[in-house]
Chain A
Amino acid sequence: MAEALIVRNLSRRFGGLRAVQDLSFSVNEGETVALIGPNGAGKTTSFNLITGYHRPNAGSIAAFGRELVGLRPHAICAHGLARTFQVARPFGKMTVLANVMTGAFLHDRTMDGAREKAHEAIDFVGLSAKEHLPARDLTTIDQRRLEMARALATQPRLLLLDEVMAGLNPAEIDQAVALIERLSQRGLTIVIVEHVMRAIMAVARIIVVLDHGQKIAEGKPEEVMANAEVIRAYLGTGFVHGAVSGAAQC
């Protein structure tokens, strides 16, 4: 299987803080990989590095055969990587439809074409009824849906989702998981940063665990969750001898 994303020896410091240290992992095409770790582990920073918002101090990032380091975010998006932000950032002055159309314009500059692609993405995330609402009037969860629709409208090959499940109730989590599964079935490569274990176990083929900017474990979900290092990172040394239950939310 071809590799969609190869991260090698990625490092980034902010002043004295080593946010990401010598991180290496890869994602195969069509796979869903989860990036987990306690708060401050460097997950969102990794996303920012991959999508071009920060420049790494060292290391390389290659996606679909092309080196990404040094490219600006818009070029990385044009190359096929789309991302959502941890706190949704809709264009408040525009409606849902206009927001998503802005994403669609990347590949189709015509109004009709972009509108069509936007409708598709909006239908997919289930926001059709609210198409003409101003983005600033949406609930937080709908804003997240909007964020995802907008990202999908850019026709990505690799989607990076940053904590899309935060604050969702169990029913909503199931919906979100179903969405991710459908995307995966379409062949999309997905990397998710998540804390909600239930969702991770459901969608991720591989889990990469970060702590203090470093990778401390990588592998299939069952292996990783039984890993002593991982348990120690999340829960402290006292818990190392018990296994982490699938329903626990860290």
Chain B
Amino acid sequence: MKAKRPAPGWLWFGAPAAIALVLPLLVSSAFAIDIFIRVLLFAFIGVAWNLIGGYAKQLSLGHAAYFGLGAYTSTILLIRFGVSPWIGMLAGGVVAVLASLPIGALCFRLRGPYFAIATIATAQVLMLLFLKFRDFAWGAEGTTIPNLGNSPLMMQFDAKVAYYYIALALLAIGLVITYQIERSWMGYYLVAVGEDEDAAEAIGVDTLRIKRQIYMISAFLTALAGTFYVQYIYFIDPNTAFSFNVSVEAALVSIVGGIGTLWGPVVGTVLLEATSALLQSWLGSGHGGAQLTVYALILIAVILWRPSGLLGVLTNAYAHIVQARPAKREALIDG
């Protein structure tokens, strides 16, 4: 299953991959690298969200639940048991998968806005729980992780660039997984569920099962991002870990960039983070609310004008300009 592409397949993977690999070597500013890392991380979270939210159209606004579970699992294992965050990362993923089962069982019985509200509620409940429980999870103050200097085995590095490549690797994993699913029977089933659940059931798609399966994968990946984030900023607390903003951004980047497409989340993240960086340099950081105001305006504009996201606009523009072909509408799945 390929989206109709005007250029050969390898170019679409090769070019961005090459750029991404050499980018940190060309740029030395720590500030810039930090931005790149955030872009990679949020693109990765967006890719994870896109599996369930973009393809299967189950609009989760509670993915922060898994982000936080991943972050806390690895941190608890690290601080209380001295376990390396590399292992903690995987453990976090497992915890997230286990959590996704009851959460999914509860939420997938609901459709449309009910589902969204339920997911918001589950993330909030987790936040509230972690705020209360000081004993094993440090409560509202959170905790820093011990600074072990440069210890690659404990996922701590002096060189910022190392974090860049880890984030890049995570994004690459997410994209590869998405790509493989997209072009398999599972991808078709997901889109079918996203388009029309009843019709999908009529042709033998076990919609509950497939939603559950993709949700598990999505939760696992999101949890990995959570661990990375803690390791990167050396701090965790419930408000950050289960932040509604994380849930929102996870969905936002895909919706703006292109829901249900491979590169949509990446495009969306680049756009939103670039806007954010521009705003910061124009307005300075004193203007609380300016950034989100712009995000909100972009989102409204996209919804009113191109609800399927901007990736379609970009590929159409490319087709139109470069190949003088008439523009096509949103992502098309062909046999």
Q: Which residues of A contact B22 (CB under 8 A)?
A: none
Q: How far, in angstroms, from A82 to B203 measured CA to CA in the complex? A: 7
* Nearest CB in chain B to that of A137: its residue: B329
Q: Which residues of A contact B330 (CB under 8 A)?
A: 93
Stretch in A32-40, A146-154, A211-219, A231-239 touching the partner: A146-154
- Please pick, from A72, A85, A154, the residue contacting B206 in the complex, using a CB distance under 8 A: A72
Query: Are A73 and B201 interface neighbours, CB within 8 A?
Result: yes
Decide if A124 is an interface residue (CB 8 Å cutoff).
no
Given contacts A89-B196, A131-B335, A134-B332, contact A94 B202 (CB under 8 A): no
Residues of chain A from 88 to 102 with CB closer than 8 A to chain B in the complex:
89-95, 97-98, 100-102
Query: Are A93 and B202 interface neighbours, CB within 8 A?
Result: no
Q: How far is the CB of A68 from chain B (nearest CB, A)?
A: 14
Query: Are A74 and B206 interface neighbours, CB within 8 A?
Result: yes
Stretch in A17-25, A103-111, A177-185, A196-204 touching the partner: A103-111
Q: How far, in angstroms, from A90 to B333 measured CA to CA in the complex? A: 13
Stretch in B78-86, B92-100, B181-189 touching the partner: B181-189
Query: Are A95 and B334 interface neighbours, CB within 8 A?
Result: yes
Q: Which residues of B contact A89 (CB under 8 A)?
A: 196, 198-199
Given contacts A73-B201, A77-B203, contact A132 B184 (CB under 8 A): no
Query: Are B203 and A94 interface neighbours, CB within 8 A?
Result: no
Q: Which residues of B contact A145 (CB under 8 A)?
A: none
Query: Are A72 and B203 interface neighbours, CB within 8 A?
Result: no
Residues of chain A from 147 to 177 with CB closer than 8 A to chain B in the complex:
150-151, 153-154
Q: How far, in angstroms, from A61 to B171 measured CA to CA in the complex? A: 50
Decide if A64 is an interface residue (CB 8 Å cutoff).
no
By the criterion of a CB under 8 Å from any partner CB, how many residues of chain B are at the interface? 30
Decide if B279 is an interface residue (CB 8 Å cutoff).
no
Q: Which residues of A contact B332 (CB under 8 A)?
A: 93-95, 134
Q: Which residues of A contact B206 (CB under 8 A)?
A: 72, 74-75
Q: How far, in angstroms, from A72 to B183 measured CA to CA in the complex? A: 27
Q: How far, in angstroms, from A50 to B208 measured CA to CA in the complex? A: 20
Query: Are A83 and B334 interface neighbours, CB within 8 A?
Result: no
Query: Are A73 and B335 interface neighbours, CB within 8 A?
Result: no
Query: Are B335 and A78 interface neighbours, CB within 8 A?
Result: no
Query: Are B202 and A85 interface neighbours, CB within 8 A?
Result: yes
- Please pick, from B198, B207, B333, the residue contacting A98 in the complex, using a CB distance under 8 A: B333
Decide if B168 is an interface residue (CB 8 Å cutoff).
no
Q: Which residues of B contact A12 (CB under 8 A)?
A: none
Query: Are B185 and A109 interface neighbours, CB within 8 A?
Result: yes
Q: Which residues of B contact A105 (CB under 8 A)?
A: 185, 188-189, 204
Q: Which residues of A contact B184 (CB under 8 A)?
A: 111
Query: Are A98 and B335 interface neighbours, CB within 8 A?
Result: yes
Given contacts A95-B334, A132-B334, contact A102 B183 (CB under 8 A): no
Query: Are B199 and A106 interface neighbours, CB within 8 A?
Result: no
Q: Which residues of B contact A153 (CB under 8 A)?
A: 203
Query: Are A74 and B207 interface neighbours, CB within 8 A?
Result: yes
Query: Are B204 and A78 interface neighbours, CB within 8 A?
Result: yes
Instruction: Name 9 interchain pairs, CB-CB below 8 A, sorted by A.
Output: A72-B206, A74-B206, A83-B202, A91-B195, A93-B194, A94-B195, A95-B333, A102-B188, A102-B200
Chain B residues within CB distance 8 Å of chain A:
1, 183-185, 188-189, 191-192, 194-196, 198-208, 260, 329-335
Known contacts A94-B333, A102-B189, then 11 further A-B pairs from the complex at CB < 8 Å, ordered by chain A residue:
A53-B198, A74-B200, A85-B199, A91-B192, A98-B333, A101-B188, A102-B203, A106-B203, A111-B184, A132-B335, A154-B204
